[in-house]
Amino acid sequence: MEKILELENVVKTYTKGDEKINALAGVNLSITKGEFTALVGPSGSGKTTLLNIIGCLDSPSVGNIFYNGSLLSNLTENELSDYRKEHISFIFQSFNLIPVLTVRENVELPLVIEQKLSKEEIKARADDILKAVGLKGKEDRFPRELSGGQEQRVAIARALVKEPFIILADEPTANLDSHTAEEIIDIMKNINSTRNATFIFSTHDLLVQKHARRVITIRDGFIHSDAKKEE
């Protein structure tokens, strides 16, 4: 299996006043392409910090992080920003769509920022992904005109549109009812299998954990358990 992400002895230390807090205390982790992985653990266990570092939103204090074999730990903030722009996508708990942009504009946003495709290509990609998440015909609506489930679909489409190495999702079903949550999981799973997209999501939702093919439990900044399910 193709390894796309590798963390080597990653430590993240924050300073709060005189106190030093080890949010991550030496994490080793490999992610292969096409994984559908859940990060679980109690609040304050280090899930968020781990997702920050995997998402290139933060740098580790110690340790290395490799994406497709390239070492990213020592990149500057702007270099990390450029890397994110091309290879990483996010789905947020509160959807975090841009309220003044339409569904289509929200989905196209990462490609516009990426600056690699022509206008026509961007449109075609957005059409394709909106169809995949079942939002065809709702392209010109604004987020306020959508239900929570539809908003999360837009967020998924926005995350997938640039075909990233990895999609990081923070509690993607936390703000949804169980029925809609199941729909969203189905969409993510479907995209995961049809497009071989890699998902890592932090979650407390047992339903999501049930569908994950790998569940990593974090406690006190360490990986407490790493369970892979047989297909």
Partner 1 sequence: MRRGSNNLPSTGTWKTIFKIAWRNVVRHGKRTAFTIITMCFGIGLYIGLDSIFKGMDKAGLENIINLTDSSVRISTDKYEAERNSLPLDYGLSKIPELEKYIMSNDGVEAITLRTRFLGQLSNGMDSIPVTGIAIDPVTDPKVFTIPKYIEGNWFSENSQANEIVLGKRLAGELGAGINDWIILSSRTKYDTQNADDFLIIGLIDAPEVSLNTHGMLLSFKDAEEFLDLEELRTEIAVRMKNRINIEDLMKDSKIVAQNIQKEFPGLSAQSFEEVGKQFLEISKSKSKATGVIIFTILLIAGVGIANTVLMSVYSRIREIGVLRAFGLQRKDISKLFLVEGAIIGVIGSLAGVILGIIFVSYLIFFGIPAEKMMGSIDMTGLYMGKIIYGHWSTKTIIVGAIFGFIVAVFAGSFPARKAAKMEVTDAIHFI
CA distance 154 to 148: 10
User: Applying CB under 8 A, does 85 fall inside the site for partner 1?
Assistant: yes
| Element spanning 30, H or E | strand 19-32
User: Applying CB under 8 A, does 163 fall inside the site for partner 1?
Assistant: no
Rounded to whole angstroms, what are the CA distances from 32 to 54, 64, 150, 230? 13, 17, 29, 15
Closer Cβ to partner 1, 17 or 99, answer by number: 99
Closer Cβ to partner 1, 57 or 62, answer by number: 57
Q: Give the binding range for partner 1 (CB under 8 A) out of 61-69, 79-87, 205-213, 220-228.
A: 79-87
Min dist. Cβ of residue 155 to partner 1 (A): 9
User: Applying CB under 8 A, does 100 fall inside the site for partner 1?
Assistant: yes
CA distance 142 to 12: 39
User: Applying CB under 8 A, does 48 fall inside the site for partner 1?
Assistant: yes
**How many residues in the chain?**
231
Closer Cβ to partner 1, 102 or 217, answer by number: 102
User: Applying CB under 8 A, does 109 fall inside the site for partner 1?
Assistant: yes
Phi and psi torsions of 43, nearest 5°? -60, 140
